Amino acid sequence: MTSLVILISGRGSNMASLLEATAAGRLPARVAAVIANRADAAGLHTAAAEGVPTRVVDHRSFATRDEFDSALAEVVDGFSPDLVVLAGFMRILGSAFVSRYEGRLMNIHPSLLPAFPGLHTHRRALDEGVRIHGCTVHFVTAELDNGPVIVQAAVPVVDGDDEQSLAARVLAQEHRIYPLAVGWFAEGRLRVCGRRVLLDRAQAGQGALIAPLPQAVRAD
């Protein structure tokens, strides 16, 4: 069974959705550990309550990013994961760390990449007046929020939306597609071809490698 290590910085709601999916048998994987870069990350309590080992590697204890990355990698490798999952992990990882886990380091971002990389995505989407917003699961590369896209989900931006209402609508989709993407990885159904991620649908009788498409929504 595919082994996961999940990295968090805060409440870890996407971590919780993955734990729920594994417990329900919808995700053929086991969470070997949850690691936070903050001792006060609320998600650590959630993971511990589910019997998942937790660790803290506090970035403030290290003089440089490289030293932090090296210490984090050492703790991660102690659990021998098949996949490292970023779930609200609010530290930029250096190229050496990313290269170490190339092809098995996954992230979820609250926008339809390549639109709105970085922080404050919902505010920026509202400021730009877009009618469609959403979230993206992607493989991590050294360039911030720029790795090959695995799957996206779209939501409408409606009149009267503020950051909180739009964020809640996007978060519901994050909780839906992250277990889906991790499950595809666990089943060996993902293949990276350049900038594209192909999904092997042969197991579903379709016999072809095709890229997952965003959820279609109406903008009116």
Express each pLDDT in 118-168 by its tens digit: 999 999 999 999 999 999 999 999 999 999 999 999 999 999 999 999 999
Cβ–Cβ < 8 Å for 27, 106? no
198 and 171 within one domain:
yes
CA–CA gap between residue 79 and residue 72 (Å, rounded): 12
141 and 72 within one domain:
no
Q: What pLDDT is attached to residue 201? A: 76
Which structural domain, as residue segments, surrounds residue 16?
1-101
The average pLDDT across 63-69 equals 97
Boundary residue ending a domain (85, 101, 117)? 101
Boundary residue ending a domain (81, 101, 121)? 101
Q: State how far the alpha carbon of 45 is from the alpha carbons of 3, 122, 181, in Å.
A: 20, 28, 25
Q: What's this model's pTM, rounded to 2 decimal places?
A: 0.91
93 and 58 within one domain:
yes
190 and 170 within one domain:
yes
113 and 96 within one domain:
no
Both tokens assigned to 60: 């403030």
Long-range contacts of 93-102, Cβ-Cβ distance < 8 Å, separation of 24 or more: 93/69, 93/140, 94/65, 94/66, 94/69, 94/142, 95/142, 96/66, 96/69, 96/70, 97/69, 97/72, 97/73, 98/140, 98/141, 98/142, 99/142, 100/73, 101/76, 101/140
43 and 25 within one domain:
yes
33 and 72 within one domain:
yes
126 and 82 within one domain:
no
85 and 14 within one domain:
yes
Q: Chain centroid to CA 150: how far?
A: 10
Residue 98 has pLDDT above 60, yes or no: yes
Residue 176 has pLDDT above 90, yes or no: yes
Q: What pLDDT is attached to residue 202? A: 61
Residues noted as catalytic? 109
The average pLDDT across 94-103 equals 97
Q: What is the CATH number of the domain that holds 177?
A: 3.40.50.170
Mean residue pLDDT across the chain: 92
212 and 113 within one domain:
yes
